Structure 1
């Protein structure tokens, strides 16, 4: 997972807590396109109660102007351009569900592959932060609908295939996502997102030795991946490789000044 990636992941104790709240699945013990359907055109409305934190004042006034224009715009291309701009502002404000909604409005009026991809990515970003089970399912389905449409036209987009794969992990068919990640690694063994997400899934399923192998492979090719460096240390810690864990946590300390990460590292070091 951008998370993408995550599949969609926060470094630190909070991240690990969220990680373990996901459904437990067995990982790595052994080594057609979607059509975008048009919906009835209506004035887009996003309830602000969807947002856990307010939108910054510097963006809010721009958002209100565009929403007003959108309500009265009848020309489809102009409407789509306004919706694009509005979605971009919401994306900038990290209100990814609203961004996905407005990108989707743009697609319905004037579909382009670029807009379809932006819609899928916005919904994926919203998916990675969602906690409510119903919302997770809804956003996962939206992600797959739009990104699979892009993949139908460009199957080589492994970055998008990784995002789609991660939406299956918390579904009723998690092995479908794991199979997709394995397929990506067969095609591109050094794929950063796939290696990272397979490592995370191995941690989540309690396979810490397997996780450390995945993260060792990840940082071998992508040494600046801070999340991978951190989770490698966690994997060593959980698999009782004390010396390796201490050395790895110290290395993470030298890679960042982020107080959240440093606090998490110190909490692990105190337990070694």
Structure 2
């Protein structure tokens, strides 16, 4: 599959809000980690720049009011509640880097595993949507900074380890991420996140038959994973297994009523 095809699919799938965010491997980061600052430091462009994107005017007043309260709040519990509210509002508006920014502020003040995890997951979500290479590198760095704090205390958290792994695969050291995913599968061969992401990595590298194996294993154990079902069909298509591809696309059609999924399915069926 060509990179442009994968990007087109990703845009459609992300827009319908499915379970998993797609990994950053589909957008090559030519600079790797060389542009990443040291963990815990500010971004090259300044952290505030990340949450400066425009937002709907009707939401501005509420956000401004809560932000002003946040700046004056000394009670840690109320401070955390305000950052959670701001993060939720920004997430609803699709401003995921802004959500991460405020959860970062809470984690910096409260220094708890719960707060580190919230900030790390928020940065990972922002990372999966970012396109600017410098921002991608920075968001990946912050994801690792926070989630590794949690993993240091809870090394069996494969859900967090998967996210950390996926921040590496677009870096100058992609094998570190792949090795981490393999370690997860060694410990848990049916791990949903790891199987999905290894399948995506196989597609990205043109190993479509290997992708078929990964996605077949994924949907065998996690049949409700609509993205896995869809990408299994795409992998069949790309590996020239047309009969299986047609059957699988029909299966996806029967599983979803979302017009964007159905449009993607119809596009492939027309080519079979």
With normalisation by structure 2, the TM-score equals 0.81
In structure 2, do the counterparts of structure 1 residues 48 and 152 end up closer, same or farther at CA, with 3 Å as the change threshold?
closer
Q: Tell me the alpha carbon deviations over residues 45-85 of structure 1, each in whole angstroms, 9 at most, x when there is no partner.
A: 5676435xx3484x544322211112233445543332232
Tell me the secondary structure at the aligned position of residue 255 of structure 2.
coil
Q: Check conservation: 1:77, 1:109, Cα contact below 8 A.
A: no
Which residue of 30, 49, 53 maps to 1:50?
A: 53
Q: 1:192 to 1:106 in 2, by over 3 A?
A: same
1:232 counterpart residue number: 232
| Offset from partner CA, 1:113-163 (integer Å, 9 cap, x none) | 111100000000000001111000000000000000001111111000000
CA distance in 1, matches of 2:165, 2:147: 11
C-alpha separation in 1, matches of 2:191 and 2:167: 18
Q: Equivalent residue for 2:175?
A: 175
For 1:202-221, list aligned pairs within 5 A: 202-221=202-221
Other structure's SS at 2:201 match: helix
Give aligned pairs, total.
245
* Rounded Cα–Cα distance in structure 1 between residues aligned with 2:169 and 2:115: 26
More deviation, 103-112/207-216: 103-112
Structure 1 partner of 2:106: 106
Compute the TM-score of the two structures, normalised by the length of structure 1. Answer: 0.81
2:87 maps to which residue? 87
**Mapped partners of 2:64, 2:126: distance in 1:** 21
Q: Relative to structure 2, which stretch is displaced further, 66-75 or 115-124?
A: 66-75
Q: How many Å separate the matches in 1 of 2:239 and 2:50?
A: 45
Counterpart CA distance in 2 for 1:183 and 1:150 is 18
Q: Which has the higher helix share?
A: 2
- Long gaps (5+) in structure 2: 1-9, 16-20, 31-38
2:123 alignment partner in structure 1:
123
Give the equivalent residue in structure 2 for 1:33: none
Gaps of 5+ in 1: 1-8, 25-35
Structure scoring higher RCO (CA < 8 A, sep ≥ 6) equals 1
- CA separation of 1:78 and 1:23: change in aligned 2, threshold 3 A: closer
Aligned to 2:194: 194
Question: Could you say what secondary structure the match of 1:172 adopts?
Answer: coil
Match of 1:22 in 2: 28
Could you say if the C-alpha distance between residues 268 and 13 of structure 1 is closer, same or farther in structure 2, counting changes exceeding 3 Å? farther
